[in-house]
Structure 1
Amino acid sequence: MRKMMISGVTVLALLTGGIVGFGGLGSSVEAAQATTKFKDVPATHWASSAINSAVEQGYFKGYADGTFKPSSPVTKAEMASILGRLSDQPNASTQEQNNFTDIPEWAKSGVSIAIAKGFISPSNYKGKLDAQGALQRGEMATWLTQGLTVVDPEYKQALSDVTNTVVPAKEYFTGKLASAQKNAVAVALGTGLMSVANDKTFGVDRTTTRAEVAVLIARYAAVAKTKPADFQGLNELRAVGLTGTNLSIIAPKYQKTPKNKFFDSYDYSKVTDQFSQVRNKELVTVTSYADVKLKNWIIINPYITGSKRSIYYPVFVDEKDTLLRGSYYSFAEFDLNIKNSMTQLQAGSLLQSPSINALKSPNSESFSKYSVPHINDFLGSKGLFQVKNPTYWSMGLLHFDTELTTQVKLITKEGIDFNVTSN
């Protein structure tokens, strides 16, 4: 990202270690040297490199006592002013006016520029930004992903595509991720712009620290230069949002079962490989203990590492977990309507599929840490369901070995036949 001169900052901000003016440091070399002297930012600090870069580029400076205060929160006015200085960020095609009434004088210009660059939308507020309040991570995700939509319209489409996705954050599974922030959090996670903490929460209500902002500046610059389609995680989130499954991304060998695998008399026109056509539809069951719907279907290849690994891997699978004969993990979100009573074993007889089976949920540590709904949450003594409408995630196996059952077959009560096989 190109360095640019900074304006509109008062002496007060300079002295308090806020956003710096262009006269704060004499050169890039001096800036880098200055950061190495921060008493509270040793070379081993997780954000030391990013802090060095942020100070070098003039986004921050240290305090008079020789500290940087990496854990101190950043206010909305400060962050808006920083975002307004991103020189590679274009202006939004549609301009909104800065009608906020609570912006301090030193930040008015920066906030107006951040609005012009598309990071902040005044129409989402009621005349006040709460400019002196600490910026929380959920709002940060909203600002940054809105900025991405200005850089590349495909990011705007991505924000729409993830509306119904499964978000790999604890708040999603516990129902504490507000719909107003869900899409932004999903895109922030899918691009690697932001991540979950050790407790598996995104932390929408946690304040954003100076160290985090230093890191986010660098990450945003990298993401903004990358096409949305180049992020596998984002592709998965979009696919699940639009279709209910990431099958085509993780297991593209699974395709529509060929016509020659059916009897000549079978109406092949009803066969589909589009999971969206059976998603949230009542399915034909083998037994009649409950009405069954599938909300989502997640596939995970456990044999790969790095950027090609599913974004959902950390949610469902532990590092130590392995499978045999090339099978993939298959996780389905069941929505059941139990007619009278039903046991866990009877749930396993509803579809009788090795890939999509309501019998059990994962027992991984990851699954527990993310607080994903488990079948045990709804079972009482003797494995009897205690609620009539349980929604939980199950675990199965997606086979590729032709000696095993590779076909996945789901038929809706309207007659649509989702039918895919490993080819």
Structure 2
Amino acid sequence: MKKMMISGVTALALLTGGIAGFGGVGSSVEAAQATTKFKDVPATHWASAAINSAVEQGYFKGYADGTFKPSSPVTKAEMASILGRLSDQPNATTQEQNNFTDIPEWAKSGVSTAIAKGFINPSNYKGKLDAQGALQRGEMATWLTQGLTVVDPEYKQALSDVTNTVVPAKEYFTGKLASAQKNAVAVALGTGLMSVANDKTFGVDRTTTRAEVAVLIARYAAVAKTKPADFQGLNELRAVGLTGTNLNIIAPSYKKTPEKKVNPNIEYDSVTEDFSKIRNKNLVTLTNYSDLKIHNWIVVSPYAVGAKRSIYYPVFVDEGVITTLRGAYHSFVEFELNIKSSSMNQLQAGSLLNSSAVDPLLSPKTKTSASFGIPTNIEYLRNKGFFTVKDPVFWGDGLLHFDKALISAITLTTKEGVTFSVIDDK
């Protein structure tokens, strides 16, 4: 994709059209000069480089008082006008009409073009865009990811694939991420288009600022020219959404257990390496204290760096802290119990399965997992380790081994007779 630019004619139109929240858009000469004059954008500002670049390219200019106002909110009409002028964004195959009744005159053309380019879907609204309202991050994620589906249909598939995924944002784990925005947030995070804040929240209800827009313009251009399959994080989110686990991406050497290594009492025709076949199903347990289901299984290598690092690393693992033994990976499993006995304790929960990787005995105890609000079994335990509820849902903390002396098959069987069994075949 070529660098996305807006023309001088467009810049003049914006400047005279009243997009006050953006301070207008000037010529490249004015822009270059403005980069050194923003009193409120020091070199140490987190978005200074992106702001300077956006100004140099003609997206913005500063205000008459020498400021950029990086923290000022951006309205929906303003952002739609900017998105509508991304020249390298193709038009959507199916064109929808601009039927909004609350668009100011200066923004009507820009909003119509943003719709034509696939960023805004009028059918998601009820005739009004709330054009003068501040654009929130959740809606921004929706607009940008919808735009990506026009650039590459595989992004549309990705948006579908992540429907049931584990989203690496605090709102997901605390149950505050609306299903209507979940998929867009997941794809935005999986591509690196957007990220969580220091408090680990995505901030779907936070307003989008001028500084963020400057950053997002550059990021969108980069993501749009990248194939979805080239983002490991997005691949993990899609895999978890479709199957319940990222095992095949993070630990691909774990394959279907050979017949000779499977318990002879198990009919091998029933064995699968497809985790989706046992996901959310009641499993056969060693003890009868509780029924047990697994919703998701996340594997994280503590040794991977850069682009190879799991998107779930910062969710579960403290930076630079390796607590695994003999080359093991972290194994985090989301369990759902249906406790049968009048009382069941933590040790009895641990006796339900015999696997170091899939173990409901302990939950993550890292600083980062706590900051993300990961549900743990501790929340449901009272004195002496007894569960206080009959149907807890929590994450367990285990180990996926690669040491030949410790490796054994991970075998889980549903009460319907389907067996998932994998082992490291290196």
Instruction: Place the TM-score, normalised by the shorter chain, in its bin.
Output: over 0.9
Amino acid at match of 2:274: Q
Matches within 5 A, 1:73-222: 73-222=73-222
Query: Residue 45 in 1 paired to residue 45 in 2?
Result: yes
Deviations 1:271-303 (A, max 9, x none): 110100000000000000000000000000001
Structure 1 match to 2:338:
337
Match of 1:292, SS state, is strand
> What is the deviation of 1:352?
1.8
Asked whether the equivalents of residues 36 and 43 of structure 1 are also in contact (C-alpha less than 8 Å), the reply is no
C-alpha separation between the residues in 1 aligned to 2:90 and 2:408? Answer: 49
Q: CA–CA distance in 2 between the matches of 1:260 and 1:289?
A: 31
Cα deviation for residue 117 of structure 1 reads: 0.1
Q: What one-letter code is carried by the residue in structure 1 that aligns with 2:401?
A: H
Cα drift, residue 19 of structure 1:
5.6
Unaligned runs of 5+ residues in structure 2 are: none
CA distance in 2 between counterparts of 1:41 and 1:297 reads 43
SS of the aligned residue for 1:294 comes to strand
Amino acid of the residue matched to residue 207 of structure 2?
Answer: T
Shift of 1:10: 5.7
Amino acid at match of 1:391: V
Moved more, 254-263 or 405-414: 254-263
User: For 1:36, what is the secondary structure of its paired residue?
Assistant: coil
| Change in CA separation of 1:263 and 1:313 when aligned onto 2, cut-off 3 Å | closer
In structure 1, C-alpha distance between the alignment counterparts of 2:265 and 2:399, rounded to whole Å: 31
Shift of 1:61: 1.4
Structure 2 vs 1, CA of residues 287 and 387 (structure 1 numbering), >3 Å: closer, same or farther?
same
Map of 1:392 onto structure 2: 394
Q: How many angstroms apart in 1 are the aligned matches of 2:220 and 2:23?
A: 18
SS at match of 1:387: coil
**Structure 1 residues 265 and 313, CA gap change in structure 2 (3 angstroms):** closer
Aligned to 1:348: 350
Per-residue Cα deviation, 1:234-261 (whole angstroms, up to 9, x for no partner): 0000000000000000000000001222
Q: SS of the counterpart of 1:299?
A: strand
Match of 2:22 among 18, 23, 36: 18
Q: Deviations over 1:103-140 (max 9, x none)?
A: 01111100000000000000000000000000000000
Shift in Å, 1:18: 2.2
Supply the AA of the counterpart residue of 2:352. Answer: L
TM-score computed with the length of structure 1 as normaliser:
0.96
User: 1:69 and 1:316, CA in 2 relative to 1: closer, same or farther beyond 3 A?
Assistant: same
Give the distance between the partners of 1:149 and 1:420, measured in 2 at CA.
35
Is the contact between residue 36 and residue 42 of structure 1 (CA under 8 Å) also seen in structure 2?
Answer: no
Given that 1:17 and 1:64 are in contact with CA atoms closer than 8 Å, whether structure 2 keeps it comes out as no
Decide which moves more: 381-390 or 45-54.
Answer: 45-54
2:193–2:223 Cα contact (<8 Å) kept? yes
- Tell me which residue corresponds to 2:309: 309
2:5 to 3, 6, 9: 3
Between 1:61-70 and 1:212-221, the stretch displaced more is 61-70
Contact kept? 2:21, 2:72, Cα under 8 Å: no
Q: Alpha-carbon deviations, 1:187-206, whole Å to 9, x = none?
A: 00000000000000000000
Check 1:42–1:263 CA distance in 2 against 1; reply closer, same or farther (3 A cut). closer
Cα gap change, 1:331 to 1:266, in 2 (>3 Å) = closer
Partners of 2:189 and 2:68 lie apart in 1 by 27
Using a 3 Å threshold, how does the CA distance of structure 1 residues 264 and 313 change in structure 2: closer, same or farther? closer
Q: Please report how far the alpha carbon of residue 52 of structure 1 lies from its aligned counterpart in structure 2 after TM superposition.
A: 1.3
Write the distance in 1 (CA, Å) between the matches of 2:264 and 2:128.
Answer: 67
CA contact (8 A) 1:287 1:349 kept: yes
Structure 1 residues 42, 163: closer, same or farther in 2, change over 3 A? same
CA distance in 2, matches of 1:161, 1:236: 11
Shift in Å at residue 49 of structure 1? Answer: 1.3
| Whole-angstrom distance in 1 between the partners of 2:144 and 2:173 | 24
In 2, the alpha carbon distance for the partners of 1:153 and 1:68 equals 36
The worse-fitting range, judged by mean Cα deviation, of 362-371 and 404-413 is 404-413
Say whether the 8 Å CA contact 2:21–2:78 is kept in structure 1. Answer: no
CA contact (8 A) 1:137 1:205 kept: yes
> Matched residues in 1 for 2:185 and 2:162: separation?
10
CA contact (8 A) 1:10 1:106 kept: no
Q: Matched residue of 1:114: which SS?
A: helix
Aligned residues: 418
Point out where structure 1 has 5 or more consecutive residues left out of the alignment.
none
Report the Cα distance in structure 1 between the residues aligned to 2:301 and 2:4, rounded to whole angstroms: 39
TM-score (norm 2): 0.96
**Paired residue for 2:326?**
325
| Contact 2:31-2:60 at 8 Å conserved across structures | no
Q: Distance in 2 between matches of 1:300 and 1:149?
A: 29
Q: Describe the shift of the 1:59–1:19 C-alpha distance in structure 2 as closer, same or farther (beyond 3 A).
A: farther
Cα–Cα, structure 1 residues 263 and 277, in superposed 2: closer, same or farther, change >3 Å? closer
Identical-residue share of aligned pairs (%): 74
> What is the rounded CA distance, in whole Å, between the counterparts of 2:338 and 2:373 in structure 1?
22
2:232 corresponds to? 232
1:40 touches 1:70 (CA, 8 Å); kept in 2?
A: yes
Show the counterpart of 2:251: 251
**Alpha-carbon distance, 1:265 to partner:** 6.9
The 8 Å contact of residues 9 and 19 in structure 1, kept in 2 or not, is answered as no
Give the equivalent residue in structure 1 for 2:260.
260
Distance 2:6 2:367 in 1: 47
Aligned equivalents of 2:392, 2:402: Cα separation in 1: 31
Give the AA of the match of 2:335: F
**Secondary structure in structure 2 of the residue aligned to 1:9:** helix
Counterpart residue identity of residue 383, structure 2: S
Please report how far the alpha carbon of residue 59 of structure 1 lies from its aligned counterpart in structure 2 after TM superposition. Answer: 1.8
